[in-house]
Amino acid sequence: MDNKNRLQAPVIFLVYNRLDTAMRVFEAIREGYKPSRLYVAADGPKDEKPGEEEKVRASREYVMNNIDWNAKSKHCSGKRTWDADALSVKP
């Protein structure tokens, strides 16, 4: 894809614990758009769900390790670091 056809609008990509879905959506972004700015956001894993931490980490790592075009990318989670605990809204 040449630069004149690249998406110039920023894209925010929300991922969580479904690696298969993250992979499919990411591949569509990579193949069809290659945005100049890609923001990746993910909430932290829930403590009460065994195995969720690994699933969340796998989704995040897949996306961040496969940006193979010239894009400004940022990532954040509940507290703006991948290691942060999940934030939730309490009534």
Question: pLDDT per residue over 50-60, tens digit each?
Answer: 999 899 999 98
The pLDDT of residue 71: 86
> What is the distance between the alpha carbons of residues 19 and 21, in angstroms, rounded to a whole number?
5
> What is the distance between the alpha carbons of residues 79 and 73, in angstroms, rounded to a whole number?
17
The pLDDT of residue 82: 43
- Residues in the chain with pLDDT values less than 50: 78-91
Q: Looking up tokens 């290659």, which residue turns up? A: 34
